[in-house]
Amino acid sequence: MVKPISTQGASAAPLADSLNKIADLFAKARNNPDYVGAVLASYGLMVAQALVQILLIPLYLHVLGDYRFGVLTIFMAQVVFGYTILSWPHGFLLRRFSESMAAGDASGFSRFYIAGKLMLLGSSLLCAGGMLLLEAMHSVFFRDAPVALREEIMTAMILAAVHFILLCEIQIEQTILAAAKRQFAVNISMLVGLGVFTASVVPWLLSGGGLVGVMVCFLANDLAMRAVVWWVRRSHPSFRLKISLIGIGSAIGQMLSGQGGKYLAYALIGISLQSDMLLIGLWGGPIMAAQYALVWKIAEMLIQLLARVPLHLQPEFVAMDVTGERDRLARIYREVWLWMAVGSCVAAVGYGLLGPWVVRLWVGSAKAPTDIYLYLLAGGAIFWISLSRLPATVAQSMAAMRGLIWVSGGELIAKFALIVLLFPYVGLAAPLLAITLVHGLGGAVAYWLLGRKLVAPGGVTSG
């Protein structure tokens, strides 16, 4: 056991507090080696993803051209949109899997596993089929596509739909590993998939390949991730399934009603808040979508980097809530919120000031958007969105969904109304300006109050 460090004198208190936190971290690392591995692998994955994006986007622009790069951007936005909608069971199942593992309830674990798998696969097939049918019949996103590209775009879109279905199938497996505090294995599977994708797509692009081959490389990424997850599941005794269809209907009912229904409602709100790229592509076409992607991609990476802090702690938040460690939960929440505020501010100011230079250096002056205000607005969006991730993650961990739905639902309504009003006047800046206005005029305060209520002594526990 690591003993607290004692010092004399009030002036030494901050130093003692910092040293005690370091001692607590080492004690946690010794008791749970996967914790440190998960943290390192998580940020290693983030760096690797950023480097791959930095490498590939200029290559995409050079080989595919502006229009096909815009098409690829819309494909990926569609995949992310659908995947995030169908990630709604993650928080619900994470809690159910954690409770089943803690109680040694193999039947309960298997029941929710099978129900979740059926729900996700069925829903992903319906979503993918619906999107393909809509595009084939009405050309919603690519109505202005050159005739010579239409067959390539449709073939690539079919492969993008398969990519989406495979990602949804893998999601349940990753949730199980997270519930077992094997986040390290999840991150490693994603690193392996990223390595396979990069090793295949770079030669393909350098040889002058098109969109169809790029989507095949995404499928190779999915299969590599699935192979790693399968190996970890197979080698761990805690993940043995008790196959039975008894109670599956009840489990699906719980996922769709009550608490599970609230997770679904929040997932729909959350992905709608992230649909800016689809709106730009729908109203402005692939070329405008490509321009928005160049402004937003690095900002999005910074948001993901900051959001990983509370996201990685989600299994810990669930465990503290289940075991009633409210004081510890409140202390960790305050510390993480402070770090998130500082990190969000630094990232926002840095990108707002350096963004134009960074993007020019990245893709070249001829391709980079030149309007300075776009980068300043993107910096503001980094700050506001990142700061809201902690209370949102804690609310999902504690199954306290009612307040989160009210706050995020209000944000969605206000943001969408502003985008519709602003788009005719400011174009692709509309989503960025709307984010700043919504949070600056009250959204940020609402998220802050939600977080305080959740971690207060005797505060919300579920609902």
What's the confidence (pLDDT) of residue 20? 52
Shared domain check, 363 and 224: no
Question: Is residue 22 situated within a structural domain?
Answer: no
Shared domain check, 173 and 106: yes
- Among 203, 228, 256, identify where a domain stops: 256
Q: Which residues of the chain, if any, have pLDDT below 70? A: 1-39, 88-91, 102-103, 105, 137-140, 235-247, 249, 251-260, 458-463
Question: Is residue 456 situated within a structural domain?
Answer: yes
CA 361/CA 281 separation, integer angstroms: 25
Question: Is residue 309 situated within a structural domain?
Answer: yes
Shared domain check, 164 and 147: yes
Shared domain check, 246 and 137: yes
CA 308/CA 389 separation, integer angstroms: 9
pLDDT digits (tens, 9 = 90+) for 90-139: 667 777 777 777 667 677 777 777 887 887 788 888 888 877 877 776 56
CA 18/CA 21 separation, integer angstroms: 5
What's the confidence (pLDDT) of residue 101? 72
Q: Which of 247, 295, 332 is nearest to 431 (CA)?
A: 295
pTM for the whole thing?
A: 0.70
Q: Would you state the structure tokens that stand for residue 184, as one six-digit string?
A: 């390290």
Question: Is residue 107 situated within a structural domain?
Answer: yes
What's the confidence (pLDDT) of residue 242? 58
What's the confidence (pLDDT) of residue 204? 95
- Among 228, 256, 284, identify where a domain stops: 256
Shared domain check, 171 and 105: yes
Shared domain check, 181 and 135: yes
Residue 47 dihedral angles phi and psi, to the nearest 5°:
-65, -45
Shared domain check, 352 and 235: no
What's the confidence (pLDDT) of residue 100? 73
* Helix 314-323 / helix 89-103 crossing angle, nearest 10 deg: 50
Shared domain check, 284 and 380: yes
What's the confidence (pLDDT) of residue 22? 43
Shared domain check, 273 and 226: no
Question: Is residue 11 situated within a structural domain?
Answer: no
What's the confidence (pLDDT) of residue 417? 95
Question: Is residue 7 situated within a structural domain?
Answer: no
136: which residues sit within 8 A by CB, 6+ positions away?
154
Question: Is residue 15 situated within a structural domain?
Answer: no
What letter does residue 141 receive in the DSSP assignment? S
**Structural domains of the chain, count:** 2
What's the confidence (pLDDT) of residue 33? 52
- Among 210, 226, 256, identify where a domain stops: 256
Shared domain check, 252 and 278: no
Shared domain check, 294 and 242: no
Question: Is residue 8 situated within a structural domain?
Answer: no
pLDDT digits (tens, 9 = 90+) for 425-443: 999 999 999 999 999 999 9
Q: Would you state the structure tokens that stand for residue 225, as one six-digit string?
A: 């991730």
Query: SS3 for 257?
Result: coil
State which residues form the domain around 459.
262-463
Radius of gyration of the chain (CA): 23
Q: Is the dihedral of CA 212, 218, 222, 225 positive or negative?
A: positive
Under a CB-based contact definition with an 8 Å cutoff, are residues 330 and 451 in contact? no
Shared domain check, 282 and 237: no
Q: How far is CA 163 from the centre of its chain?
A: 17
